[in-house]
Amino acid sequence: MILTVTLNPAVDFTVYGKAFKVNETNRGRLTDPDPGGKGNNVARIARLLGTDVIATGFLGGFTGDFIESGLKNEGIKTDFLHIDSLCRITVAYIDEATSAETKIVPFGPEITGSEKEKFTGHYQSLLAGNSFSSVILSGSVPGSLPDDYYGALIDIARKFGVRVILDTSGAALASGMRHTPFLIKPNREEAKELVGGGEDSQMYRFFEDTAAKGTIVALTLGQQGAVLFTKNGIYQTRPQAVKAVNPVGAGDAFVGGFASALDRFGEKDETPFSWAAAAGTAAAASKGLLFSTDMFYRIKENLIVETIKGIV
């Protein structure tokens, strides 16, 4: 079983249309709304792949009710802390011709000091009362919480002997890394920000050092595949001959695939990595976040994981 933590959940809308034009009305086809937020996306993918999940975090308002009911309908157990503020609504506009993505993402609700303390206790109770193979901390931290709040959650999970997968960006990622999570999953843009720019070779050396210190790094590169940095070696996946339809949530699907395989098979470098890459590819090739398991296994069977002999 895994635990997903979404501090900043959202109702996600995706619209498909022609090329997005700034300062104009952009019309398109609206898909059904999703119970979103990065951690909730991870929960949905892991559950799709057969892993038991408890989803937690903050929920509030009618949007929070929608998120919770949607997760429950997919067989995910929910145990959120309910707050007074409304959960946000996000919109992704996808260019049907190029799959280019334009997103509108509000900052999220204000979390009071009392709500923060209540959630810390709630989180600790969940860890004490269940046997989790991993905890997934995903997404942005609401502005009213400190950048290092994920770090505090990592430290609590460590006391219970539970691995932590951290998928965030900016200051929250930099702060969280100081607490040595089991794995981080930056994309190229997030990685460049973390390293401070520079060439790919500089970024690779930074993540090789990070892995040597105890944190696995899964660097996702979109249609160029992914690279996994571990103490035992560096691995990469080849790009798949699958047309990208919707990049929204592909990174979350990657984490969901990794967590699901980790729960099922344990710490085998190539197995969780191959599951992650297959799930991310399948999500990108689907109109929505969820994909058919037949597609997933078909992609996984054709997936090639190679060992990188040295830093490029």
Residues forming the active site: 252
Burial label, 226 (beta-carbon count in 10 A; 0-12, 13-18, 19+): buried
Pairs from 197-200 (Cβ < 8 Å, separation ≥ 24): 200/312
Q: Given the DSSP bridges, would you call strands 77-78 and 53-59 parallel, antiparallel or unpaired?
A: parallel
Burial label, 69 (beta-carbon count in 10 A; 0-12, 13-18, 19+): exposed
Q: Give the chain's largest Cα–Cα span.
A: 53
Whether 10 and 88 have beta carbons less than 8 Å apart is answered as yes
Conformation bin of residue 2: beta by default, left when phi > 0, alpha when psi is -120 to 50: beta
Whether 39 and 6 have beta carbons less than 8 Å apart is answered as yes
Burial label, 49 (beta-carbon count in 10 A; 0-12, 13-18, 19+): buried
